[in-house]
Each structure stands twice: as structure tokens, then as C-alpha cells.
Amino acid sequence: MTKERITREIVQTMDQKDSLSHFKSEFYTQDDHYYMDGNSLGLLSKRAEAAVLTSLQDWKEQGIDGWTEGKEPWFYMSEKIGEMTAPLIGAEPEEVINTGSITANLHQLLATFYKPEGNRTKILADSLNFPSDIYALQSQIEQKGLKHEEQLIQVESKDGYTLKEDNIIAQMDERTAVLLLPSVLYRSGQLLDMKRLTEEAHKRGIIVGFDLAHSIGAIPHQLHEWNVDFAVWCTYKYLNSGPGGVGGLFVHEKHLGQKPGLAGWFSSKKEKQFDMEHTLTHSETASAFQMGTPHILSSAPLVGSLEMFNEAGIETIRSKSLQMTRLLMNLIHQELSDFGFQIMNPLEDERRGGHVSLVHPEAASICKALKSEGVTPDYRSPNVIRLAPIALYSSFEDVYEMIGILKKLMTEEKHKQFKNERGIIA
């Protein structure tokens, strides 16, 4: 932690030097409100709004012809968004498609790549992953006529917040068919060493997949270079596609041309799709892993949002994100050391995602108090406050102000007015 005392003047100087500061005016933000929950739902941008309005206008003016004749033709939108996403994850354009949700895409890719044979029947995961991924893994094992209690191995955490790569590697063996891990752990914000884990798994003949929900749009990846077999993600967090925004998937080019495990109409080659044949001629790109008709109105926001990401550059976004989370941690150390908070995310830049994980026994009531004071944090049961300043629409002074608000409410014990229990959605 820095020994220099952080002042408002220091953070204002940081804002003056920020090459991304102009993007904030492109988002719908509220005056005197500090939004620190972009790791759960990103804010609406004017470009995302315009992209949705374009698709509505195409529908309004073109009707069914909007599929091919609209200003932004719907028939090719998923592929266009995939191509726009590829630079953010270090992928080739044909390796990426905008489709489905994390869980639907995970089912698709497990149905494609999880092929238990002989002694190689197990899936290796972790004990800290988001529940929906675990449900999907259990379901796919059962679909193969096996018992998930026997075939799903979950690497345990020593502290309940982080994982050690060495412990994950130690669990890899000749019985493991698939490894599935989050790139960033959702509670603690720990960034796993995806390159090393992929290399070690491949040495043992294991297919490797990652859930990028808490890293895509915040952290650069090199999925193609690292030889990752597949990945899935949502787009409503750092990519700012809006609630329920359509997800995405990556399949390494070495697997392209493989028949999808779950086939559907949009798995087809574009030029064959409307032949209406009952024998699928599937795409030779990641498009093959689509199933049903694309959800246009929840894909369209990405056309506008991703323009900004490609203008800003993911390396620049990552640099600012690290500066903001470092500032946030330093301010917590400087201002909140008397209030029982504990930082649970890794402190090292190379091991930290885009949010800070702050643990406190009264986390739920503190989050409620923060909301009443104009701050939107994120709570995760049982005791985690997640704070995510976002590179495209948060300023360094926003971080400074937010910590000031948190210190004041703790000093005045305003959180005692609220029950220390989560709401329906936490």
C-alpha cells in the first residue's frame, strides 16, 4: 500500500491524465451517484441505445426484410458481434459467436466436448465457482448416465475466497476429461493463471474451458495463443449489453468443423440454412454452436458498446482498471482501517480482476446503507461487498468520494438502521 496520503487533489490530477475520461459522457450516469456495480450490470451507453433504436427502426421500416436489408442486418448480427469481440479475448474472428447465455452455451460446449470414455470420465472444477456452472456440469454428467457425485471433482479453497493453481494442477490426472474454471472468481476477484492451467491440462490430455463472466471487457486475454479449447461469457457486466444481454462463446480453430453437440437451425451454414433440409450442414466456424434464432433486441446493444471497447483498447482499459482498484485498496487502508474491513482479493496486479472484494461481518447492512447514501455496491452472501469502478464510466474522484461516503456512514453507524440480511436479489 502507498505511504503517501491520498488527497482529492491527487485523484483530480489522475483524472486530468486519464485518456479514457471522455467516454464517461457517453454513458447515462447520475449526478451525485456513484455506481460501483458494473461487475454485475453495466450502465447503458448512448451508443448501445442507438444500436437498439436502429434495430427497432429496421423492424419498423423493413419488417421481415430487416433480416437481410436493414441498416444493421439481423441475419449476420451474431457473427458481426463475434468479430467485434474477438480482439478483447485474443481470438480469431471465426472462433467467436454472440449467442445464448453462459449456461446455455456451457451446455452446448459440454455436450460437444465432454465425451467420457474408459477411465477418462471426470470433470474438474472448483468449489468457488458460480452455482449455475456447477448445475450445468452436474446435469451434463447425468445426461451421460453417470453420477455427478462421483464424476465431478471440485478443487477446494483453503481460505474460502481464493484458489491455488498448484492445487488445481495436482488434481489433474488421466481420469480427467474436461477442466472448467472461472477466469476470475466472482466473490474474491482473483484472476487465475489461464495460460499455465491450460498448458498443464493439455499435457495430461484434458480439454480446457473457461467462464469469462468476470473478466471479459475488463482484462485482456489470449485465448487463441494460449490454446484454450473453449470459453463462455455473459455480456451484461463489463461489456454493458443490458439486462439479459445475449452471451457469447469461443471455440479454438483446431475444433472448428466439429459437429455441435446440440444442433439447431442456426448451426447451419448461412448459404444452406434456408434449403430446409433435414440433414444439417453445419457451419465451419463458431457459428455452428448457435442453436435457435438470435435474440436481436438483446444483441443489438453490443454493436454500439463494442465500438467503444475497440476505440479505447482493452490494454488501456485494463491499465485504468488496475489503477482504480489500486486507488480503492489504498483508500480503504487509509480511511477504513478502524472499521473491521478486510480486503480478500489478491493485491498483486497480475492476480486481480476488475473488482475489489471487501469482507465485513455486517456487509449486507453496509450495502443497504451505501445505497441510501447514493452509492450502488454489490453484496454477495455471506459477508462480501464487491466494489467495481469501471474504466469507461468511473472517475478516480468517484472512487475517492465513494470511500468518503462509506467512512462517514461507518463513523455515524448508519448501517445499524438496516437488517444485516440480503434482499431477494443480492
Q: Residues within the annotated binding site?
A: 102-103, 130-133, 211, 214, 236, 265, 293
Cα–Cα distance measured from residue 27 to residue 14, given in angstroms and rounded to the nearest whole number: 20
Residue type at position 251: V
Cα dist from 18 to 26, 54, 319, 321, whole Å:
15, 31, 10, 11
What are the binding residues for pyridoxal 5'-phosphate?
A: 102-103, 130-133, 211, 214, 236, 265, 293
Residues 283, 35: contact at Cβ < 8 Å?
Answer: no
Task: Provide the angle, in degrees to the nearest 10, between the axes of the packed helices 296-312 and 77-89.
Answer: 30
DSSP string, 267-281: GB-TTTGGG--SS--
Residue type at position 9: E
Residue 16: count of CB within 10 angstroms of its CB: 9
Cα–Cα distance measured from residue 299 to residue 106, given in angstroms and rounded to the nearest whole number: 18
Cα dist from 339 to 37, 188, 281, 355, whole Å:
22, 20, 62, 20
169 Cβ contact list (under 8 Å, min separation 6)? 197, 200
Please count the residues of the chain: 426
Question: In Å, how far from its chain's centre is CA 86?
Answer: 14
Cα–Cα distance measured from residue 295 to residue 89, given in angstroms and rounded to the nearest whole number: 23
Instruction: Report residue 367 as a C-alpha cell.
Output: 450495502
Instruction: Report residue 225 as a C-alpha cell.
Output: 495463443
Residues 98, 81: contact at Cβ < 8 Å?
Answer: yes
183 Cβ contact list (under 8 Å, min separation 6)? 191, 192, 194, 210, 211, 212, 213, 214, 215, 216, 219, 221, 231, 353
Segment 8-12 long-range contacts (CB within 8 Å, at least 24 positions apart): 8/397, 8/400, 11/327, 11/396, 11/397, 11/399, 11/400, 12/396, 12/397
Cell 444493421 sits on residue: 72
